[in-house]
Structure 1
Amino acid sequence: MGQKRDVSEETAAIRSGSSAPSSTSKEVGGSKSADERELAVLSDEELGRIDEKLKLRPLAIYEIVREEGVQELARPVTSLWWSGLTAGLSIGFSILTEATLRSALPDSTWAPLIANWGYSVGFLIVILGRQQLFTEITLTAVLPVLANPSLRGVWAVMRLWTIVLAANLVGTIVFGAGIALDVMHRPEVTQAALELSREAMAHSWVTILLRAMAAGWLMATIGWLLPSSEGSPISIIVLMTYLIALLGLSHIVAGSVEAVALVVAGEQSLRSIILGFYLPCLAGNAIGGSALFALISYAQVKREIEETAAEGRRSEG
């Protein structure tokens, strides 16, 4: 995500100004009338600073995310599997950290406002560690197919999603079982984790579906914002994932840790969590991240892509 950004038309105009007082400066003329004309002299260093301050255009962000999607779709199965398994284990630290904070805080209305910050820990490990997380690739995997629709592309997306999701869930099964069995011998943390799990599962499938759509949107937003984060990805990841916890939204991978913990603890049946959590949450995350965010993101740059392609054909002709 560290690709060099294009210089905007405004800066390009500055660089190609008609007047050049010296080899290291350019003149920019901007006026409402000939009598009021003012000339601004900018050095190459100043022009370079302008380039650094310019924000990435949506088209540039789209291209960065799309190219990442192309790379992910081309990765071998073994690489995807082990990266996804690692992510499933890592995301468990979101639940464990939040439970640890909750167990240390008094039982008050403001306690969740602090404990929810712990939810971001696992996502920081996963995203900064470049591990494969299902909800993070719902956007990146879809954009290449939207740009060049084909059955082969759809198959590649389904292959990527299936491998990563399966690997994520295997990791969460291991971590969730460890929490329920109190392998760390922290009974107060285990009880807090089970309380979080009960709260997460205590909703109808419709509610979980809708909350999962919102969570999918926020996770896709992370992927869209990171290219223009300018060296501050941590703040973006923490803010978006904190919102997921604060609003009680449903995330298929993090929520799987909670669901498994309840099954191992004997409080839920496997059938109930599959029908009541996994299916609606999976559908909601996919809809929010792919069908909604990806389509809207592509729609805002589609015209620019077509115009750029048309200009390229004209120049070749």
Structure 2
Amino acid sequence: MEERKNEKHYDQHQQHTDHNDDENELPSQAMATHELIREEGAKELERDIWALLCSAIAAGLSMSASFLAKGVFHAEIGHLPGGILIESIGYTFGFIIVIMAHQQLFTENTITPVLSVMQKPTANNLILLMRLWAVVLLGNLIGTAIAAWAFGYMPVFDPAIQQAFHDIGMKVMANSPTQMFAKAVISGWIVATMVWMLPSAGNTKILVIFAMTWLIAVADTTHIVVGTIEILYLVFTGAIPWQEFIWPFAIPTLLGNICGGTFIFALLSHAQIRMDMQKDSSVTVEKSS
């Protein structure tokens, strides 16, 4: 047991050392972070499809912790002034579980593998990215659907908590498709920012996850995975028809998350790295001449 602990400590120390070496060798810390995330994304693109699916289903189930905790807090303190600030803490639980357990969450994958594809935008890499997105999204939706059905039909929660679940879902459905999209852009951007921060977070990873996902909740944004649990709960309990899950919720929210994570954050992050690379190349040429 002691030997395993020593090996784990050595691996963590080696990763930290390698990261510091990368920062020293590359022209900026941002580029070192970019390379770490890009390399992780490249590995995800090559993963076995069934491993991805199982991990994504597990993530969908784990995200139900956000719905559960937020529902319990809403039932107990939702009526109090400023209760939303504490209620939103519940939203962070699922994200902490999923990210610390290294499960596949769709909105994380709007930046991690995308950086790898941007580095080498080949047709094969684009196909691998589409495969990854499709499998992870499907798995997340399967997991969230199972959780939503269980919350609606299993005799676990008292009427006050069930009403809280209903209220949370109906609050999301009060948004127009345009609002769904716009709010999802913000949450996609926040998740991408969080992913970018984690390699440098060290022992404070949980605090980073907590702060960023709490911000998603307190800002009343929309998220395709957590929101799916909230809306499918309404569908399974008969509060809304299933068509309303597709529109106005799922399609605008999915597109907004992709836009915020990929087309805004990932593109801008990759752009600054390309500028660093060009600057580094010009400096190298000047030195050699």
**TM-score above 0.5:** yes
Query: Secondary structure at 1:141's aligned position in 2?
Result: helix
Within-5 A mapping of 1:10-89 = 57-89=29-61
Q: Does 1:6 align with 2:17?
A: no
Residue 233 (structure 1) aligned to one of 197, 205, 212: 205
* Larger relative helix fraction: 2
Q: Which moved further from structure 2: 89-98 or 183-192?
A: 183-192
Contact conserved, 1:88 with 1:168, CA < 8 A, in 2? yes
Deviation at 1:149, TM superposition (A): 1.2
Q: Cα offset for 1:202?
A: 1.0
Amino acid at match of 2:186: A
Alignment partner of 1:266 out of 238, 241, 253: 238
Alignment CA distance shift 1:230-1:185 (3 Å): closer
After superposition, the Cα gap between the structure-2 partners of 1:140 and 1:313, relative to the gap in structure 1 and judged at 3 Å, is farther
Give 1:194-205 correspondences, 5 Å limit: 194-205=166-177
Q: Is the alpha carbon distance of 1:8 and 1:152 closer, same or farther for their aligned partners in structure 2, counting shifts above 3 Å?
A: closer
For 1:183 and 1:291, the matched residues in 2 are separated by: 43
Q: 1:76 to 1:106 in 2, by over 3 A?
A: closer
Which of 131, 135, 142 does residue 159 from structure 1 map onto?
131
Distance in 1 separating the partners of 2:102 and 2:36: 15
- Over 3 Å counting, the alpha-carbon distance change for 1:280 and 1:110 in structure 2 is same
| Runs of 4 or more consecutive aligned structure 1 residues displaced over 6 Å after TM superposition | 310-316
Equivalent residue for 2:263, pick from 285, 288, 291: 291
Report deviation, 1:100: 0.7
Count of aligned residue pairs for this structure pair: 272
Q: 100, 107, 123: which one pairs with 2:72? A: 100
Cα distance in 2 for residues equivalent to 1:276 and 1:106: 26
Mean Cα deviation higher: 163-172 or 96-105: 96-105
Q: 1:144 to 1:312 in 2, by over 3 A?
A: farther
Q: Which runs of 5+ in 1 are unaligned?
A: 13-55
Q: Which has the higher contact order (CA 8 A, sep 6+)?
A: 2
Question: How much does 1:6 deviate?
Answer: 2.8
Instruction: Report how far residue 230 of structure 1 moved.
Output: 2.5
Q: Deviation at 1:201?
A: 1.4
Report the TM-score when normalising by structure 2.
0.88
Matches within 5 A, 1:294-305: 294-305=266-277
- Which secondary structure does the structure 2 equivalent of 1:4 belong to? helix
1-side partners of 2:89 and 2:23: how far apart? Answer: 38
Question: Could you list the per-position Cα deviations for residues 225-249 of structure 1 after superposition, in whole angstroms to 9, with x for gaps in the alignment?
Answer: 0011131001110011101110110
CA RMSD of aligned residues (A): 2.2
- Cα 1:304–1:194 change in 2 (3 A) is same
Residue 160 of structure 2, aligned match among 177, 181, 188: 188
Would the aligned equivalents of 1:182 and 1:190 in 2 still touch at CA under 8 Å?
no
User: For the residues of structure 2 that align with 1:132 and 1:203, how far apart are their CA atoms?
Assistant: 27
CA contact (8 A) 1:180 1:194 kept: no
In 1, the alpha carbon distance for the partners of 2:112 and 2:90 equals 26
| Deviation of the 1:312 alpha carbon | 8.0
Structure 1 residues 28-85: Cα deviation after superposition (integer angstroms, max 9, x where no partner): xxxxxxxxxxxxxxxxxxxxxxxxxxxx710100000100100110100011000000
Partner Cα distance (2:22, 2:138) in 1: 42
Name which of structure 1's ranges 296-305 and 83-92 shifts more when overlaid on structure 2.
Answer: 296-305
Compute the displacement of 1:106 (Å).
5.7
Task: Give the deviation of 1:159 after TM superposition.
Answer: 0.4
Residue 141 of structure 2 aligns to which amino acid in structure 1?
Answer: L
Q: Describe the superposition over 1:244-294 as per-residue Cα deviations: whole angstroms up to 9, x where unpaired.
A: 110110000000001100001111111112010000000000000001100
**TM-score if structure 1 supplies the norm length?**
0.81
